[in-house]
Amino acid sequence: MTEDEHKEGIKGMANPSRYGIERVAYWLMRLSGLGLLAYFVAHIYETSNILRGQVGWNEFLELTQTTEGHIFLAIVIAMCVFHTVNGIRVMLGHGGVGVGKPARPDYPYDPASQNYRHKIGIYSAIVLAAIAMMYGLAVMFGE
Amino acid sequence: MAQVSHIANEQTSTPISSSKSITLRIARYNPEHDDSSKFMEFTIPYERWTTVLEAILEVKKHLDHSVAVRYSCRQATCGSCGMMINGKPRLACFTKISELNSDVITVEPMNNFPIIRDLAVKFERLFDTHHKIKPYLIRDDADLVSDEREFLQSPEEVEQYIQFANCIKCGLCNSACPTMATDSSFVGPQALAQAYRYVADSRDKGKDSRLKIIDESHGIWRCHFAGSCSQVCPKGVDPAMGIQLLRGYLLGFRG
């Protein structure tokens, strides 16, 4: 990045702190997407161990039967739920659903596209991801 | 090295007189001989109604006339004085110091725009992308003949686009956009919102050509609906809504 372009770059793109919950959702969407991509690659590698037979398969699965493995899987569950729920919200928005109708704006300008429906969608995605993660942890660490 | 200055007593001018004061940090950068930007600090008195632009002009008048800043109308109409104020893109003439609730105000040039000097940035790319989407009515019978009147519209048809006609080309939306932060070729929320403004205009017949322009790899599909553009728009244009509605045309949801 050169000073000439004066672009914010990835650091600016990823900064979730300045523009409200929508930007937090944008950041979590990318983070969970990249996380799930990494998990997908790891999952392909994991399942390829079936070629080593039942013993090899069981040996590899033992990696996930540790505390760290359980936490990792719980995070994967949270990422999956958030990415799905928020993805549906974003896709609906991309189709023009829930973004409001054009109208003459009155001061103070509250953008109709950032309305309560989308905010509820974002908070729902976060809450559902947290619930799913806790349920997953309860199952994996439970008696 | 930061420089702290105070308002000088001058017989020939009338500086702002107030018991309240803030520290104004101004980013200084001249691409011709500076490697990076530095901040200079000034102590500026202010009143409840003092705007950030007035504070900067106070610096120019009494402390350092070399500060480069672009401004014109001082009433949020021309879109010249866009800058980063305490980390967010805002119009300096439209932002009061008192509403920032901070003793220190940092002003920097807008992000995602090349810097001319200090707070002034180049608008060439914004104007290029704005022109790219053909921001004018397109129709075969554009030349009015003597016995015809103007192209008529119903009030309902005007409501479809009038919000987006409020754009003052200040560039704050492009500065806040996370895609603009990384993609040098992205057409940007300003131009996309203007594309919607003309596509939604019942008098316009250039929908297909405009949709073709924005339906490319660095076009409308690079928008990920973060909504920051709409949050910083000083005129309530809501570019994020325009972009999503524009997608409706491309996806076949709208006629």
pLDDT band of residue B183 (cuts 50, 70, 90) is very high
Q: Are A133 and A74 in contact (CB under 8 A)?
A: yes
**What is the reported pLDDT for B58?**
96
Q: What is the token pair recorded at B51?
A: 């705007």
The continuous run of DSSP H or E covering A60 comes out as helix A53-61
Tokens 């992000």 identify what position?
A: B111
* Average pLDDT over all residues of chain B: 91
- Check CB contact of A12 with chain B, cutoff 8 Å: yes
Q: Which of B88, B244, B250, B254 to mutate to test the interface with A (most CBs of A within 10 A)?
A: B244
A105 vs B235: CB contact, 8 Å cut-off? Answer: yes
β-strand pairing of B82-85 with B104-108: antiparallel
For residue B145, CA distances in Å to A31, B22, B142, B148, B150 come to 58, 60, 9, 6, 10
b/e sequence A21-56, b meaning 16+ C-beta within 10 Å: ebbebbbbbbebeebbeebeeeeeeeeeeeeeeeee
Average pLDDT over residues B213-220: 95
For residue A132, CA distances in Å to A89, A125, A126 come to 18, 10, 10
- Check CB contact of B253 with chain A, cutoff 8 Å: yes
Average pLDDT over residues B47-61: 96
pLDDT band of residue B12 (cuts 50, 70, 90) is very low
* Per-residue pLDDT at A13 exceeds 50: yes
Exposed, middle or buried by CB within 10 Å (0-12, 13-18, 19+), for B152?
Answer: exposed
A19 vs B180: CB contact, 8 Å cut-off? Answer: no
**What is the reported pLDDT for B14?**
57
Over chain B, what HEC string results?
Answer: CCCEEECCCCCCCCCCCCCCEEEEEEEECCCCCCCCCEEEEEEEECCCCCEHHHHHHHHHHHCCCCCCCCCCCCCCCCCCCEEEECCEEEEHHHCEHHHHCCCEEEEECCCCCCEEECCEECCHHHHHHHHHCCCCCCCCCCCCCCCCCCCCCCHHHHHCCHHHHHCCCCCHHHHHCCCCCCCCCCCCHHHHHHHHHHHCCCCCCCHHHHHHHHCCCCCHHHCCCCCHHHHHCCCCCCHHHHHHHHHHHHHCCCC
pLDDT band of residue B7 (cuts 50, 70, 90) is low
**What is the reported pLDDT for A63?**
84
Task: Identify all chain B residues contacting A9, using CB atoms and an 8 Å cutoff.
Answer: 181-182
- Check CB contact of B181 with chain A, cutoff 8 Å: yes
- Check CB contact of A3 with chain B, cutoff 8 Å: yes
- Check CB contact of A92 with chain B, cutoff 8 Å: no
Taking CB atoms and an 8 Å cut-off, how many pairs form between chains A and B?
142
pLDDT band of residue A5 (cuts 50, 70, 90) is confident
pLDDT in tens, B63-87: 999 999 999 999 999 999 999 999 9
Distance CA B91, CA B114 (A): 18
What percentage of residues in chain A have a pLDDT greater than 90?
A: 73
Q: A residues 57-76 near B, CB within 8 Å?
A: none
Q: Are A21 and A68 in contact (CB under 8 A)?
A: no
Give the angle B233-B236-B239 at the CA atoms, nearest 5°: 65
Q: What is the token pair recorded at B167?
A: 């754009």
Lowest mean pLDDT among A47-51, A81-85, B244-248: A47-51
Q: Which of A27, A34, A88, A94 to mutate to test the interface with B (most CBs of B within 10 A)?
A: A94
Task: Identify all chain A residues contacting B182, using CB atoms and an 8 Å cutoff.
Answer: 7-10, 13
Average pLDDT over residues B81-102: 97
- For B248, the closest of A96, A106, A111 (CB atoms) is A96
A93 vs B166: CB contact, 8 Å cut-off? Answer: no
* Per-residue pLDDT at B15 exceeds 70: no
**What is the reported pLDDT for A50?**
87
More confident: B56 or B151: B56
pLDDT band of residue A78 (cuts 50, 70, 90) is very high
ipTM metric: 0.88
Distance CA B239, CA B148 (A): 34
* Per-residue pLDDT at B49 exceeds 50: yes
Task: Identify all chain A residues contacting B225, using CB atoms and an 8 Å cutoff.
Answer: 22, 26, 90, 93-94, 113
pTM value? 0.90
pLDDT in tens, B119-152: 999 999 999 999 999 999 998 876 666 666 778 8
- For B225, the closest of A94, A103, A107 (CB atoms) is A94
Lowest mean pLDDT among B8-17, B34-43, B83-92, B234-243: B8-17
pLDDT in tens, A97-139: 999 999 999 988 999 999 999 999 999 999 999 999 999 999 9
Amino acid identity, position B230: S
What percentage of residues in chain B have a pLDDT greater than 90?
A: 83
More confident: B93 or B152: B93
Tokens 């200084």 identify what position?
A: B28
Q: Which of A99, A101, A114, A119 to mutate to test the interface with B (most CBs of B within 10 A)?
A: A99
Q: Which of A1, A4, A8, A107 to mutate to test the interface with B (most CBs of B within 10 A)?
A: A8
Q: In what order do the strands lie in the sheet with B82-85?
A: B4-6, B38-45, B21-28, B104-108, B82-85, B88-91
A109 vs B241: CB contact, 8 Å cut-off? Answer: no
Give the angle B86-B91-B94 at the CA atoms, nearest 5°: 105
**What is the reported pLDDT for B11?**
46
**What is the reported pLDDT for A1?**
42
Q: Are B160 and B202 in contact (CB under 8 A)?
A: yes
pLDDT in tens, A28-65: 999 999 999 999 999 999 889 889 899 988 988 888 88
